[in-house]
């Protein structure tokens, strides 16, 4: 009885040990949302763009644009010790004198009018802040798209790996069947060798696919900028959103939400501000100033102390205008107008590209969805044919090469189906990026 109890205890310990071992080495599931979240948090390019956005926010202030006055203060202290020695005959006299001076000044300078230059600078700072904000959104969208493309490539390679594993299993069964039938004298060595060659070929493809799968996971980890403590798995299926895209809606949404387009528009606003700023040099500049000066002077001469105090308060206005500087200001205005025209042309060019990309992506996505339907039908037919030919091969109604043809057709059909789904998913993601709506569902 005691030995039975010890036996069950040992068995229980072994089972628990195996469970702990499997738990320790189990692979964690990396979901789509988790991958994007990790990638965005760790991406250094996003951090750089965020810092650029912070700089533009700091610059966009009235003080930086020149609206506010400048206030300065200064203070000085000085003490002088003059020494005079006078000698008359044999009599020598020495006078020790000293002078102490204290002075302080507070001055204020305020540009009241600079030809609307301060307004132009504030407008330019606002445009730069908005542009950097949209640039950050665009960078996040770009990084998200790259992560999603890499993620679904892992899904693709994982499915292809399973397909090639399945192909090896089919080839192994075929080889064993061929070997048994050869031993019974039902088929020749030729069929047996063909079965062995096919098996080795499928094993080689499987090893290559394992490399492709590992490479795809490594590429995803590089994008996520994270080393996982354990190996990870992704989702197995490639699904599509329920949204139906048409050219008019896609183009409209792209023109409304595309971050690159918004950056281009802000560049035009910034170039308009540059024109106003360059024209400000033709206007007079008016400034107000005020100054408060205080001084305190104390002198000691032959034991006598004299003290002088004074305070001065000054207010004033200054106006200046440039009459001619070699047409430098005129050239600045001309160059600013050319820069604005270039910004407008860039916007038109980007709009044309978006319109063309929308049309191309939608047409490609539609065709790829149709291809998926065809490949699904082809896969079902190939699977049914393989099942049928497998039975025929086992009973000797077909030879090894005929069975191999059915196997290759099935593997190709399954490969084409998962590849078509991957290509269609990439097109869907690119459409979402175009309209500024990267979706994770």
Q: Can you spell out the DSSP letters for 395-423?
A: HTSS-HHHHHHHHHHHHHHHHHHHHHHHH
* Domain ranges, ordered by start, for the chain: 27-66+114-284+327-435, 75-113+286-320
Identify the band that residue 119 occupies on the pLDDT scale cut at 50, 70 and 90: very high
pLDDT for position 25: 43
Identify the band that residue 78 occupies on the pLDDT scale cut at 50, 70 and 90: confident
Tell me the per-residue pLDDT of 269-319, one tens digit each, with 9 for 90 and over.
999 999 999 999 999 999 999 999 988 877 766 666 777 787 889 999 999
Average pLDDT over residues 307-333: 89
The radius of gyration of the chain's CA atoms, rounded to the nearest angstrom, is 41
- Whether the pLDDT of residue 84 is over 90: the answer is no
- Whether the pLDDT of residue 9 is over 80: the answer is no
Greater confidence, 208 or 182?
Answer: 208
Cβ neighbour number for residue 131 with a 10 Å cutoff: 22
Identify the band that residue 100 occupies on the pLDDT scale cut at 50, 70 and 90: confident
Greater confidence, 91 or 278?
Answer: 278
Greater confidence, 3 or 241?
Answer: 241
239-242's contacts with Cβ under 8 Å and 24+ in sequence apart are: 240/369, 240/424, 240/425, 240/428, 241/428, 241/439, 241/441
Structure-token pair, residue 154: 């892992």
pLDDT for position 318: 93
Structure-token pair, residue 365: 């996505």
- CA–CA separation, 398 and 387 (whole Å): 13
pLDDT for position 227: 78
DSSP output for 372-397? HHHHHHHHHHHHHHHHHHHHHHHHTS
Instruction: Name the fold adopted by 27-66+114-284+327-435.
Output: Outer membrane efflux proteins (OEP) (1.20.1600)
- CA–CA separation, 30 and 36 (whole Å): 10
| Cβ atoms of 108 and 314 closer than 8 Å | no
- Whether the pLDDT of residue 10 is over 50: the answer is no
- Whether the pLDDT of residue 17 is over 60: the answer is no
Identify the band that residue 346 occupies on the pLDDT scale cut at 50, 70 and 90: very high
pLDDT for position 303: 63
Query: Residues 6 or more apart from 255 whose CB is under 8 A from it?
Result: 261, 351, 354
- CA–CA separation, 273 and 131 (whole Å): 14
Structure-token pair, residue 16: 């628990």
Identify the band that residue 86 occupies on the pLDDT scale cut at 50, 70 and 90: low
pLDDT for position 415: 97
- Whether the pLDDT of residue 350 is over 80: the answer is yes
């Amino acid at each position: 009885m005691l030995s039975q109890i010890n036996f069950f205890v040992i068995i229980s310990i072994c089972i628990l040990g195996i469970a702990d071992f499997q738990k320790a080495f189990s692979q964690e599931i990396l979901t789509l949302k988790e991958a994007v979240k990790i990638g965005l948090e760790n991406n250094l390019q996003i951090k750089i763009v965020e810092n650029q956005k912070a700089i533009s926010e700091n610059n966009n202030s009235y003080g930086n644009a020149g609206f506010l006055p400048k206030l300065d203060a200064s203070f000085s202290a000085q003490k002088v010790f003059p020494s005079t020695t006078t000698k008359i005959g044999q009599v020598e006299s020495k006078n020790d004198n000293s002078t102490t001076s204290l002075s302080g000044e507070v001055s204020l300078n305020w540009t009241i009018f600079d030809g609307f230059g301060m307004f132009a600078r504030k407008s330019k700072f606002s445009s730069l802040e908005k542009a950097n904000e949209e640039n950050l959104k665009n960078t996040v969208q770009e990084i998200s798209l790259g992560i999603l493309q890499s993620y679904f490539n892992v899904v693709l390679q994982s499915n292809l790996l399973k397909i090639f594993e399945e192909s090896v299993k089919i080839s192994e069964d075929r080889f064993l069947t061929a070997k048994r039938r050869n031993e019974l004298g039902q088929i020749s060595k030729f069929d047996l060798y063909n079965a062995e060659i096919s098996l080795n070929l499928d094993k080689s493809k499987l090893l290559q696919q394992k490399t492709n799968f590992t490479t795809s996971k490594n590429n995803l980890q590089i994008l996520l900028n994270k080393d996982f403590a354990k190996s990870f798995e992704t989702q197995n299926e490639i699904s599509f959103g329920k949204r139906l895209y048409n050219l008019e809606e896609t183009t409209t949404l792209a023109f409304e939400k595309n971050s690159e387009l918004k950056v281009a528009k802000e560049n035009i606003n910034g170039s308009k501000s540059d024109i106003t700023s360059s024209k400000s040099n033709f206007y007079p500049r008016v400034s107000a100033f005020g100054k408060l000066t205080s001084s305190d002077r104390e002198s000691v001469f032959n034991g006598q102390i004299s003290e002088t105090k004074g305070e001065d308060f000054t207010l004033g206005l200054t106006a200046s205008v440039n009459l001619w500087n070699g047409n430098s200001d005129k050239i600045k205005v001309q160059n600013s107008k050319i820069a604005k025209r270039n910004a407008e042309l860039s916007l038109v060019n980007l709009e044309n590209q978006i319109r063309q990309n929308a049309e191309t992506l939608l047409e490609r996505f539609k065709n790829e969805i149709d291809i998926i339907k065809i490949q699904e039908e082809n896969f079902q037919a190939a699977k049914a044919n393989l099942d049928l030919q497998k039975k025929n091969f086992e009973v000797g109604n077909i030879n090894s090469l005929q069975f191999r043809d059915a196997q290759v057709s099935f593997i190709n059909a399954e490969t084409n189906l998962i590849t078509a789904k991957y290509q269609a998913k990439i097109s869907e993601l690119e459409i979402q990026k175009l309209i500024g709506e990267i979706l994770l569902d």
